[in-house]
């Protein structure tokens, strides 16, 4: 039957396929998506801007949902996630940045067991989102994850994560409640003139002093944590290695450089800024 078969003009049902490639169905007119249990990975922007998609059933063996996978699927009302997301080796499954951003009709979602991180902007501006159930495996909620979810009525959170970004629930009914309970977070942002910003976030709990933390491609070790400042070492990244100290609520430049554009007009700029709040 090939990679997938059509049951009707607006329904896709996959067969014998393990991965949706990057941008493979971006802008497709599919309305109803059903995935078999052979599907393990949905790549970056796999179904982005499928504006007629109104419901999706994901694979029970899904272990990775890429960045912006369903971004701006603005007719999506229902999505059935698997009960658990883990890689074959048993490690935590992965959800990509902004994977449901701009899904303005999505009303409810249950995050699978095994997921430890709610990534940046995952549900940003999901204006109709009312009910969210998080698993007991959650340890971190990153920047803007639920920002703009103004109708959020129910947030079931069996455990309160050590790391919740200051703007994770911005402009939601839970904004003040979360702000009172959360602990400060170290955020490091790498911006360039030739690509989208990269955001890395780390838990600033004193109990983690001396323990290496990893966020995507960056690793750090905390040396000191207080209510006024944080000291840390970047142990793995292409720039800005070494020791740094950042004061509370004071963005601090760790790295800045300009590059010529090989004869083209202007220069390329690269900057890494850290904030502790």
Q: Are residues 108 and 45 in the same domain?
A: yes
| Token couple for 61 | 């063996």
Q: Which residues of 44-72 are buried (b: 16+ CB within 10 A; e: fewer)?
A: bbbbbbbeebbebbbbbbbbbbbbbbbbb
**Same domain flag for 205 and 259:** yes
Q: How confident is the model at residue 15, as a pLDDT? A: 60
Q: What's the pLDDT score for residue 216?
A: 86
For residue 206, how far is the Cα from the chain centroid?
25
Residues 180-189: what's their mean pLDDT? 94
Mean pLDDT of 163-190: 95
Q: Residue 266: what pLDDT?
A: 67
Task: Give residue-wise pLDDT tens across range 62-85.
Answer: 999 999 999 999 999 999 999 999
Query: What residues make up the domain containing 253?
Result: 186-276
Whether residue 4 is predicted with pLDDT greater than 90 in this model: the reply is no
- Find, among 180, 187, 162, 194, the residue nearest to 262 by Cα: 194
225 shares a domain with 149 = no
Q: Do 61 and 150 sit in the same domain of this protein?
A: yes
Q: What is the DSSP string of 14-47?
A: E-S--EEPTTTTTT----EEE--TT--EE-TTTT
Q: Are residues 207 and 223 in the same domain?
A: yes
High-pLDDT (> 90) share of the chain, %:
81
Phi, psi angles (nearest 5°) of residue 207: -65, -15
**Range 10-21 average pLDDT:** 72
Show Cβ contacts of residue 180 under 8 Å, excluding neighbours closer than 6 positions: none
Residue 265: pLDDT over 70: no
Question: Does residue 55 sit in the same domain as residue 163?
Answer: yes
> Please, where are the H alpha helices in the chain?
175-181
Kindly state the average pLDDT of the residues 139-148: 96
- pLDDT at 56 (0 to 100): 96
- Total number of domains constituting the chain: 2
The last residue of a domain, from among 182, 217, 244: 182
Do both 174 and 271 map to the same domain?
no
User: pLDDT tens digit string along 38-59?
Assistant: 999 999 999 999 999 999 999 9
From 182, 201, 220, give the residue that closes a domain: 182
Both 28 and 54 in one domain: the answer is: yes
State yes or no: pLDDT of 245 exceeds 90: yes
Residue 128 has pLDDT above 80, yes or no: yes
- 138 plus 8 within the same structural domain: yes
Same domain membership, residue 204 and residue 172:
no
Q: Are 33 and 75 in contact (CB under 8 A)?
A: no
Domain boundary residue, one of 182, 202, 227: 182
State residue 3's pLDDT score.
Answer: 41
Predicted structure pTM score: 0.86
pLDDT at 264: 57
Counting Cα atoms < 13 Å in the Cβ hemisphere of 258 gives: 3
């059509």: which residue's tokens? Answer: 6
Please, which pLDDT band fits residue 5 given cuts at 50, 70 and 90? very low
> pLDDT higher for 260 or 38?
38
Least confident of 2-16, 76-90, 102-116, 135-149: 2-16
pLDDT at 267: 79
Contacts of 262 (CB under 8 A, 6+ apart): none
Residue with more model confidence, 165 or 259: 165
Q: Which residue has the higher pLDDT, 46 or 1?
A: 46
CATH assignment of the domain containing 101 = 3.80.10.10
> What is the average pLDDT across 102-131?
97
Q: Are residues 21 and 138 in the same domain?
A: yes
Across the chain, mean pLDDT equals 91
212 in the same domain as 106: no
Residues 6+ positions from 264 with CB-CB distance below 8 Å: none
User: What is the tally of helices (H) and strands (E) in the chain?
Assistant: 1, 23
Task: Report whether pLDDT(246) > 90.
Answer: yes
Average pLDDT score over residue span 73-101: 96
């Amino acid at each position: 039957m090939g990679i997938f078969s059509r049951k009707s003009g607006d329904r896709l049902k996959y067969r014998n396929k393990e991965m949706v490639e990057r941008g493979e169905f971006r802008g497709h007119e599919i309305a109803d998506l059903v995935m078999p249990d052979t599907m393990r990975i949905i790549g970056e922007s796999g179904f982005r801007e499928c504006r007629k998609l109104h419901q999706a059933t994901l694979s029970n063996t899904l272990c990775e949902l890429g960045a912006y996978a369903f971004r701006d699927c603005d007719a999506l009302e229902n999505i059935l996630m698997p009960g658990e997301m883990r890689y074959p080796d048993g490690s935590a499954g992965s959800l990509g940045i902004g994977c449901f951003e701009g899904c303005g009709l999505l009303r409810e979602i249950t995050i699978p067991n095994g997921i430890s991180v709610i990534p940046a902007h995952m549900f940003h501006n999901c204006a109709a989102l009312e009910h969210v159930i998080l698993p007991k495996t959650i340890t971190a909620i990153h920047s803007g994850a639920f920002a703009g979810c103004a109708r959020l009525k129910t947030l079931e959170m069996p455990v309160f994560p050590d790391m919740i970004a200051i703007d994770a629930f911005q402009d939601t009914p839970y904004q003040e409640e979360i702000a009172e309970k959360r602990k400060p977070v170290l955020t490091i942002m790498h911006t360039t003139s030739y690509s989208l910003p990269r955001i890395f976030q780390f838990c600033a709990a004193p109990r983690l002093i001396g323990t290496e933390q990893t966020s995507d491609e960056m690793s750090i070790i905390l040396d000191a944590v207080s209510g006024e400042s944080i000291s840390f070492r970047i142990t793995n990244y292409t720039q800005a290695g070494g020791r740094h100290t950042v004061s509370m609520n004071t963005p601090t430049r760790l790295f800045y450089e300009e590059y010529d554009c090989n004869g083209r007009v202007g220069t390329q700029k690269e900057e890494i800024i850290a904030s502790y709040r």
